[in-house]
Amino acid sequence: MSATMIQVDAFVVPGSRGFSGNPAGVCLLDGAREDAWMQGVAAEMNLAETAFLRKRADGYDLRWFTPVVEVDLCGHATLASAHALWEQGLLGPDEPARFHTRSGLLTARACGEQIELDFPAEPAKATDPPADLLAGLGGVAVRRIARNRFDYLVELESEEAVRSLDPDFRTLRRLGERGVIATAQSDAGGFDFVSRFFAPACGIDEDPVTGSAHCCLGPWWSERLDRTEFVAFQASARGGVVRVKVNGNRVILGGEAITVFRAELLV
């Protein structure tokens, strides 16, 4: 059996020539592989996520691995997977991508330069903050704290407060949740809100751009800003742009992707 590996930058800043957004590995399989092998490949790639795709009659089986664990939902590696299938000619340009995942059926469609993902909404409910959360964020002043099935969401006072966070990742690792979303309404032109995402328990201190976090951020800001469509910026060192549309219990995530390299796995 062979496997092709494609590295894709997903949710890139529009107009960039790459090296923004979140890099994902996309591994195109021609047969079944053991979980340990996929985890080993993900550790070798050492990216936030590596996606593994296997063709089936009605689409593709899709699984996502960080360098240390398998995860239930990943936006940027799904966007990267759809981009790879269209670019490799495995799907027609007008054919939607259908992915069977641990979070159910996910679909993607090409819309010009953008790819749109149809994902489940993951709203957060208010919660009392555990001590490690506030300590891990350096005791920064917060407006609201909430939690969904994956992550804590912390709304801060300003965009600058989000950008200047300097977390203690060892402390955040003790929370026992997938990650922490820090967010604030944007005061810069062109964006509605900003965020950062920390997931040290999954082997990722800071994720460059996190599509699945916007499944939470979309409903959160829709309730507060009384709107359903947003342009969001994830303020990591690489930076990335996510377009968000809230549609009931679904969230449409839009972004651009660029292929960085293709390779053949020899092991």
In the chain, % of residues over pLDDT 90: 94
CA proximity to 63, closest of 25, 96, 91: 25
Nearest CA to 83 out of 45, 53, 126 is that of 53
What pLDDT sits at residue 60?
A: 98
Which amino acid, residue 99?
A: F
Rg of the chain on CA atoms, in Å:
18
Q: List active site positions.
A: 49
Whether residue 90 has pLDDT greater than 80: yes
Model confidence at 50: pLDDT above 80? yes
Structure tokens at 34: 């053991």
Q: What was the pLDDT predicted at 183?
A: 98
What domains are there in the chain, each with its CATH number?
3-111+254-265 (3.10.310.10), 125-248 (3.10.310.10)
Among 21, 3, 1, residue whose Cα is nearest residue 12: 21
Q: Report the alpha-carbon angle 13-73-147, nearest 5.
A: 95
d(CA 94, CA 215) in angstroms, rounded, equals 25
For residue 13, give the DSSP letter. P
Q: Tell me which DSSP letter residue 128 carries.
A: P
- Cα 61 to Cα 51, 58, 99, 265: the distances in Å are 10, 9, 6, 19
Residue-wise pLDDT for 6-36, tens only, equals 999 999 999 887 799 999 999 999 999 999 9
Q: What is the pTM of this model?
A: 0.95
